């Protein structure tokens, strides 16, 4: 039976409260500080990636867990409004929906998250029939979901046994330990690793030195590594060749979720059978265009919109 979904996304979903930009250091002592903008938007790396992929025309399903509360219903309804199938999004009556506050300053941000249902999300939230019915399976925010992290090797292995390809965006590790031993089992079942430059350096270890070297080292553990490198664009390594793509010049409102939109672009392009150097350029454009509005999903491009900003010579091997 042919796959029903182009993409199954597994992981985190929550409301984001985005405030900024801060023009001075964050103050305690009951001081009130004003910011230019504030917004309540859909957050979570997995959720933003799913919306970006649906915007690019993929048929997307989402599996994860939120609370059976107003915040959880907001997440479910917003994903659905973006065209994402949420039948495998569990509403948990015993735990609250995760909440994240993002404070922006220039091109940087501080992120505060209350994990809520993230600590309860597990492989049981992923229906086996979805793993069998998807062309590609993407997992996000590995370090925020310890029970899901334990189950990921089996989930990804099962997806691959049905012919799917797989990808992982670990996001940051709040503990700072970058648990290499447990992660190795996940990487063994991962086709595409999608860190940002700082995450790539942490994942690759203390001898990486540069994002380029980190990508080369990580490409000995997974078949393909695509690294988001901010305004400098992106780079990719397949174990033999380093490929680079420039950034697209835009005037950003904020960069929240840009990496997740990059992930969506890279996977969408790959599923459209674009080679890595073309997928890299397309993904860099998707990430850049997503920064034109506040929040992670409001400015995500359509396939055509991203395509017209992508030049055939925009990426090259070195």
pLDDT of residue 312: 55
User: Average pLDDT of the chain?
Assistant: 93
* Residues near 242 by beta carbon (within 8 Å), at least 6 away in sequence: 212, 215, 216, 235, 236, 317, 318
- Give the separation between CA 45 and CA 63, rounded to whole angstroms: 13
pLDDT of residue 123: 97
pLDDT tens digits for range 51-84: 999 999 999 999 999 999 999 999 999 999 999 9
Domains and CATH numbers, the chain: 5-25+46-317 (3.40.1190.20)
Q: What are phi and psi of 113, to 5 degrees?
A: -130, 135
- Give the separation between CA 259 and CA 57, rounded to whole angstroms: 18
Tokens of 37: 């903008």
Percent of the chain's residues with pLDDT above 70: 96
pLDDT tens digits for range 165-220: 999 999 999 999 997 668 999 999 999 999 999 999 999 988 899 999 999 999 99
* Residues near 253 by beta carbon (within 8 Å), at least 6 away in sequence: 37, 291, 292, 293, 294, 299
Does pLDDT of 268 surpass 70? Answer: yes
Chain-centre distance for alpha carbon 187: 16
Q: Which residue has the tokens 């078949």?
A: 223
Residue 220, judged by CB atoms within 10 A of its CB (0-12, 13-18, 19+), counts as exposed
Q: What is the pTM of this model?
A: 0.94
Does pLDDT of 90 surpass 90? Answer: yes
């Amino acid at each position: 039976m042919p796959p029903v979904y182009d993409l199954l996304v597994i992981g985190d979903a929550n409301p984001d409260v985005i405030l900024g930009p801060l023009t001075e250091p964050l103050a305690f002592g009951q001081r009130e500080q004003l910011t230019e903008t504030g917004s309540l938007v859909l957050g979570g790396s997995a959720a933003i990636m799913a919306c970006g992929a649906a915007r690019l025309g993929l048929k997307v399903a989402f599996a994860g867990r939120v609370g059976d509360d107003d915040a959880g219903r907001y997440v479910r309804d917003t994903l659905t409004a973006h065209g994402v199938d949420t039948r495998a999004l569990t509403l948990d009556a015993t735990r609250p929906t995760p909440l994240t506050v993002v404070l922006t300053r220039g091109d940087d941000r501080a992120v505060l998250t209350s994990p809520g249902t993230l600590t309860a999300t597990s492989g049981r939230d992923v229906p086996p029939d979805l793993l069998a019915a998807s062309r590609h399976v993407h997992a996000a925010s590995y370090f925020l979901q310890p029970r899901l992290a334990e189950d990921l090797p089996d989930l990804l292995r099962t997806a691959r046994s049905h012919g799917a390809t797989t990808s992982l965006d670990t996001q940051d590790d709040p503990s700072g330990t970058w648990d290499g031993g447990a992660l190795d089992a996940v990487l063994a079942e991962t086709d595409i690793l999608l860190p940002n430059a700082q995450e790539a350096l942490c994942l690759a270890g203390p001898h990486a030195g540069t994002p380029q070297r980190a990508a080369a080292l990580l490409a000995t553990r997974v078949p393909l590594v695509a690294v988001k490198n901010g305004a400098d664009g992106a780079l990719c390594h397949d174990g033999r060749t380093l490929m680079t793509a420039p950034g697209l010049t835009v005037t950003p409102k904020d960069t929240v979720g840009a990496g997740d939109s990059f992930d969506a672009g890279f996977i969408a392009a790959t599923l459209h059978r674009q080679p890595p150097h073309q997928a890299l350029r397309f993904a860099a454009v998707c990430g850049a265009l997503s920064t034109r509005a506040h929040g992670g999903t409001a400015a995500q491009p359509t396939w055509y919109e991203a395509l017209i900003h992508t030049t055939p010579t925009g990426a090259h091997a070195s």
